[in-house]
Amino acid sequence: MTYDSAKAQFADWGVDAEAAIEQLAGIPISMHCWQGDDVVGFETKSGTSGGGIQATGNHPGRARTPDELRADLEFAYGNIPGRHRLNLHAMYMDTDETPDRDEIEFRHFSPWVDWAREIGIGLDFNPTFFAHAKADDNLTLAHPDKGIRDFWIEHGRRTRDIAAQMGAAQGNACVNNIWVPDGFKDTPVDRMAARAQLEASLNDMLAPKQDPAQMLDAVESKLFGIGVEACTVGSHEFYMGYAIRKDTVLCLDMGHFHPTENIADKLSAVALSVDQLLLHVSRPMRWDSDHVILQSDDILQMGQELVFSGLLDRTRIGLDFFDATISRTAAWVIGTRNMQKALLRAMLLPEARLKQAERALDFTTRFMMTEELKDLPFGAIWAEFCTRHDMPSGLALIRELDSYQAQVASRG
Ligand code: RNT
Ligand code: ZN
């Protein structure tokens, strides 16, 4: 199937494949640094995984240093069409110093900033409220001990400063996403105290004004995690309300809801109440297991909702998966490209005709169309998109991924 004949087939349905290719090129995906090293980070002072998140598997090639991680990222970006972003966690500092979390400064991240500028990507950022001795109770901002809370508030404030400096350096806002693990393994008797405490700590942390052109605060909810099965303090309702009242970005992680909930369905609902959204696109198999995203129905629906609900300009698309049983760089490349494919598939749908059928309550037409559209030659349009960006696809991509994995496999 040539591009021209594929394009003609889409044109029959009134779809402009050229326009879709152009639109997709303008959508950055914020790729998460932590897929490259199984969420370990580069702190020397403290750090074991924790907070109920853990990568499983021991595939060879884990990045052990910032230089290795950057090399892996460069390889990944080199096989993903378009210009993208890097979502960096505070535990990925690159410095000879050993600052604790409440001591970090911009300079501890400046190698990342210089590198991002050199290769032309934007940075997003995250405070790290896990993998630290002061988070061992799975309580941080909601901890009853003021000393512990103050430590984490200071950490959060510093990440906001760092994110703002990153945003200033790159000339666009760096999103600083707040996720805390706080919760209880067994049924608490004072949920209200914990939630009021989280609210008060967040207020303190967010009190210093930052320029929204430089950094944006986002808040990420969760349903439960390993070790916090009975109650997560920062639940969806908690952060939904918080984001509305405090005008922060609301982050929806696809793994942080009941497994049968449709996260794509939530976008239009929350977008009526919050201005900006952040996504952690993920694939929760049975729980928040952060499997690499596929072109599965959940992901395709996410892409379609972003396009059809007109939310692309106020949604930051971030990814959050980590799988250590397969090549980590292949996971990045295939996962990120799958997000792009989900968007492209949506852009290649005859949106107006589908919506028209639905408004006319002609569900038969909507049904016939959605099913017949699945047979259109999407792959030829995607291949053309890759070719125009000088990126491999199909067997050539697999050769690239295999050969890079072979190079890094000898890492100890
Ligand atoms: C944890 C959250 C959070 C983390 C990253 C590493 O459940 O999804 O986003 O995965 O911050
Ligand atoms: Zn997440």
Residue spans per domain, the chain: 22-349
Q: Is the pLDDT of residue 52 over 80?
A: no
Query: d(Cα 365, Cα 201) in Å, to the nearest integer?
Result: 52
Q: What is each CA distance from 385 to 28, 239, 338, 380, 396, in whole angstroms? A: 15, 38, 13, 9, 15
Secondary-structure class of domain 22-349 per CATH: alpha beta
* Active-site residue list: 179, 220, 222, 253, 256, 280, 288, 290, 320
For residue 225, give the ligand nearest its CA: 1
Across 131-148, average pLDDT? 96
Across 73-92, average pLDDT? 98
Closest ligand 1 atom number to CA of residue 288: 7
pLDDT for res 38: 93
Q: Is the pLDDT of residue 47 over 60?
A: no
pLDDT in tens, 290-349: 999 999 999 999 999 999 999 999 999 999 999 999 999 999 999 999 999 999 999 999
Q: Is the pLDDT of residue 51 over 80?
A: no
Residue owning the nearest CA to atom 3 of ligand 1:
179
Across 231-244, average pLDDT? 98
Across 93-100, average pLDDT? 97
Closest ligand 1 atom number to CA of residue 225: 7
Query: From the CA of 149, how far away is ligand 2's center (Å)?
Result: 22
Q: Is the pLDDT of residue 142 over 70?
A: yes
pLDDT for res 374: 97
Q: Taking Cα atoms as reference points, which of 315, 295, 343 lies closest to residue 25?
A: 343
Q: Is the pLDDT of residue 15 over 80?
A: yes
Helices (H), 26-128: 66-77, 110-119
Q: Is the pLDDT of residue 144 over 80?
A: yes
Q: Is the pLDDT of residue 182 over 60?
A: yes
Would you say 71 and 65 are in contact if contact means Cβ atoms under 8 Å apart? Answer: no
Q: Is the pLDDT of residue 68 over 80?
A: yes
Would you say 332 and 292 are in contact if contact means Cβ atoms under 8 Å apart? Answer: no
Question: Band of the pLDDT at 49, cuts 50, 70, 90?
Answer: low
Question: Band of the pLDDT at 6, cuts 50, 70, 90?
Answer: very high
Closest ligand 1 atom number to CA of residue 220: 9
∠ CA 326-331-332, rounded to 5°: 150
pLDDT for res 54: 80
Pocket of ligand 1 (CB under 6 A): 34, 39, 53, 89, 126, 179, 220, 222, 253, 280, 288, 320
Query: From the CA of 270, how far away is ligand 2's center (Å)?
Result: 17
pLDDT for res 48: 58
Residue owning the nearest CA to atom 7 of ligand 1:
53
Query: From the CA of 4, how far away is ligand 1's center (Å)?
Result: 42
Q: What's the chain's average pLDDT?
A: 96
Residue owning the nearest CA to atom 10 of ligand 1:
320
Across 181-207, average pLDDT? 98
Across 123-149, average pLDDT? 97
Closest ligand 1 atom number to CA of residue 126: 11
pLDDT for res 44: 73
Q: How far does CA 251 lie from the centroid of its chain?
A: 9
Query: d(Cα 162, Cα 170) in Å, to the nearest integer?
Result: 12
Helix H or strand E encompassing 313: none
Helix, strand, or coil (residue 126): strand
Across 149-176, average pLDDT? 98
